[in-house]
Amino acid sequence: MFHKNEPSSTWKWNRKNAQDFEIPSLIDFLRSSRSIPMYVITLIFLLVTYGMRLTFYSTTMDQDAVMDYTTSSIYNSWFVLGRFGLVFTRQLFHMMQFNPFFELAFTVVFIFGACISWEYVFYVLRGKNNHFQHFRWIFPILFLTSPLLALQFNFLNQSFFVSLCFISMAFSFLFLYKWIFQHTWLDLLIGFILTFWCFSVYQSFVPLYISAASATFLLIYRRYYFLPKEQKPQNIGLFRICLKILAVFVGAFILYTIINKITAAHYGGMNAYISGQIMWGHLPVSQCIHHVLAGIY
């Protein structure tokens, strides 16, 4: 719903039907001159953080296992670790044989793509609010320099697909919010599949989904809560949005859990490497909360 005199990179709400909207053009976002500083800063920090690894080859975590064991035994171990999606994705891309040079190069490319993808999501959800357009570089810097992310990409065996999933998770939220406001069931299906796929590739995308859902909801909340009363759309139920996002999360996680148990049972049962790291239910709640707070502070 765009007016002819308005750029296609903005949303135009139909106030008579608050659930009728169009997603801003990704091409317009990428071409925008306002995005150029973000590209430059992101690229600089990307090269500073990960560029050195492109200049030489070194054995990273778990690569010794690739050298010592057969390919099939490595992939069988991923099945019992709950990462069946990682194996199937390697098959889909015809990358069953590990190529460290190719995967490292495209890991860096996809990390850059992940930064741009999440910035696009934030750009979409905040609407016409341009108060923070000059601070787009903050998220890419925090994302690229995160110690957890740097540690993750030391596992080169899976970093190619994990970085690709960062992009997929971003676009899954675009499809889900389009479904929420437009009731387009195809968007729900695509968003659900992308979410489920990310869970099946690497379990860390489960808490990432929770964090991203909270962040995107806050953007939606800020976008409409502070509007003058006469400008607020009438049919936006914030509680209903929360329930729908939660329903997708629960559905994707249940489906992942079911398929995970089936595939793990076929390959010898679940490995305690993952389940043994979850303390909820094994330690007192107060102790779990203490560990969480200690990690934050």
> What pLDDT, on a 0 to 100 scale, did the predictor assign at position 232?
60
Q: pLDDT at residue 67 above 90?
A: no
Helices (H), the chain: 26-31, 36-50, 63-68, 71-80, 84-92, 100-125, 138-144, 147-152, 156-182, 185-201, 205-225, 238-266, 272-275, 285-296
**pLDDT greater than 70 at residue 84:** yes
- DSSP letter for 269, please: S
Residue 245's pLDDT band, with cuts at 50, 70 and 90, is: very high
Among 56-60, 69-73, 216-220, the minimum mean pLDDT is found in 69-73
pLDDT band at residue 51 under the 50/70/90 scheme: confident
At residue 82, the 3 state secondary structure works out as: coil
Least confident span in 81-90, 128-137, 192-201, 247-256: 128-137
| Per-residue confidence (pLDDT) for residue 290, from 0 to 100 | 85
> Distance between CA 75 and CA 33 in Å, rounded?
45
pLDDT in tens, 132-168: 666 666 777 777 777 777 777 777 778 889 999 999 9
**Which pairs with CB-CB distance under 8 Å and at least 24 residues apart come from 185-189?**
188/248
What is the C-alpha separation between 292 and 297, in angstroms, rounded? 9
Bridge partners for 280 per DSSP: 283
Q: What is the pTM of this model?
A: 0.80
If you average pLDDT over residues 166-192, what whole number do you get?
A: 91
DSSP letters along 40-64, please?
Answer: HHHHHHHHHHHGGGGSS----TTHH
- What digits encode the pLDDT tens for the residues 21-33? 467 777 877 777 6
Ramachandran angles phi, psi of 284, nearest 5°: -60, 150
Segment 270-295, tens digit of pLDDT: 666 666 667 777 778 888 888 888 87
SS3 state of residue 277 = coil
CA distance 245 to 287: 29
Q: What is the secondary structure of 206-255 as a DSSP string?
A: HHHHHHHHHHHHHHHHHHHHTS-GGGS-SS--HHHHHHHHHHHHHHHHHH
Q: What's the mean pLDDT when you consider all of the chain?
A: 78
Cβ-based neighbour number of residue 235 at 10 Å: 12
